[in-house]
Structure 1
Amino acid sequence: MKNPEIFNQTYTTYWKKLNAFSYTMTQDKDLAQNIVQDVFVDLWERKEDLNISAIEPYLFRAVKNQVFKHYQNNRFDKTVLEDKFEDYIIDNFATIDPELTDLLYSLLDKLPEKRKEVLLMYKFQDMSIEQIADELGISKQTVKNQISAALKQLRAGMKEITWLLPYLFLSSKFLR
């Protein structure tokens, strides 16, 4: 990251994603932008000392940590932020680090077959509740219930693996 061109490319590539991630957690546009800016300033200032093997997970973790730090300093409840982080991972499943994706797939495999099918149709095939109900011959309410139960089960599973996230991000080989 010592090269200014690589830094600028990284900034351009990740600014929007990180800002959206930060906003998801903070629900405050200015705070979200400030946090992302602080992460990039810190990255540039520490460029001589850092040895980052995976830039994307590093940046997302840095933003998450800055958000937690902000709220910890302001004495807010961190559990709400952890829930938002889990929501973000579930909602952005396809773009998450491959090692984390493997863990999420293992959580998906623990879902009952019909629940898993409904969730996959909803999240990965972008089908509407009505389309899923028609396709599977079940009521819209049943589809909603299955999606809700699946997300609840995934979130519970995410809480169990949250402690692994820093290790996954550190071991990732995204950028060499």
Structure 2
Amino acid sequence: MESISSEQHFRDIYNQYWEALYKIANKKTNAHEDALDIVQDTFTYVWDNVHILRQVETGKVRAYLITCLYYRIFSFFKAKGLRNKHLQFFQVQTEHHFEQTASYGTAEADEELTAINLAIMSELDKMPERMKELFLQNHLYDKSIHELACEYRISDKTVSNQISIARKRLKGFARSYPTTELVPLIILFLTKN
């Protein structure tokens, strides 16, 4: 069981940020009940991982909470079965949100996006060439596993395994990437319906 100080720390964070997180979730989902559920799920995750929250620098708590919230929003959209075009629209909206955030300027966001893109490409370059090609064809060009199997003259299972391994490697990379307000964009890149 967590100490009283962890409970009080969590309560303080909850009281300070609940409304801001709700407003973001409500704006993104355009549904009051869904927004409430997403914020509740976010704070449940934060409580379950309160040891991580206690390690977050005071000035970065907001960014950490927003990152957690956006992950829950992405999961919500994925569960709703939205296709890539809807996720891309959400990405544009997310980028617009960062441009509007006073503490996170456009120049910083552009610099961070460039760093994230370079880091992702570096991780992809560490993969065997065919694995990288299959992953990119599947994620960027929305080619099905069967289409890729026919194109490369390999079994569907081989394609599926290669894409799955690539995704696991990139998710491992995403977990190790420093916490930032743009981590949801890494998650978006790895999200596949």
TM range (shorter): 0.5 to 0.7
Matched, 1:169 2:177: no
Matched, 1:14 2:5: no
TM-score normalised to structure 1 length: 0.54
Change in CA separation of 1:6 and 1:78 when aligned onto 2, cut-off 3 Å? same
Partner residue in 2 for 1:65: 71
**Does the 8 A contact of 1:35 with 1:63 survive in 2?**
yes
Partner residue in 1 for 2:27: 24
SS of the aligned residue for 1:32 comes to helix
Structure 2, unaligned stretches of length 5 or more?
Answer: 118-173, 182-193
Change in CA separation of 1:168 and 1:29 when aligned onto 2, cut-off 3 Å? same
**Does the 8 A contact of 2:26 with 2:32 survive in 1?**
yes
Moved over 6 A (4+): none
Partner residue in 2 for 1:95: 103
Q: Which structure has the higher relative contact order (CA within 8 Å, separation 6+)?
A: 1
Change in CA separation of 1:7 and 1:26 when aligned onto 2, cut-off 3 Å? same
Partner deviation per Cα, 1:74-112 (whole Å, 9 max, x = no partner): 2212112111111212223x133xxxx3xx2368xxxxx
Q: Give me the whole-angstrom Cα distance separating, in 1, the residues matched to 2:81 and 2:111.
A: 24
**Does the 8 A contact of 2:64 with 2:179 survive in 1?**
no
Change in CA separation of 1:67 and 1:13 when aligned onto 2, cut-off 3 Å? same
- 1:168 CA drift (Å): 5.5
TM-score normalised to structure 2 length: 0.49
Structure 1, unaligned stretches of length 5 or more?
Answer: 108-156, 171-176
**Does the 8 A contact of 1:57 with 1:169 survive in 2?**
yes
Change in CA separation of 1:159 and 1:5 when aligned onto 2, cut-off 3 Å? closer
Partner residue in 2 for 1:52: 56
**Does the 8 A contact of 1:21 with 1:88 survive in 2?**
no
**Does the 8 A contact of 2:67 with 2:180 survive in 1?**
yes
**Does the 8 A contact of 2:25 with 2:38 survive in 1?**
yes
- 1:40 CA drift (Å): 0.6
- 1:163 CA drift (Å): 3.6
Structure 1 vs Structure 2 CA RMSD: 3.1
- 1:23 CA drift (Å): 1.6
Matched, 1:38 2:47: no
**Does the 8 A contact of 1:24 with 1:88 survive in 2?**
no
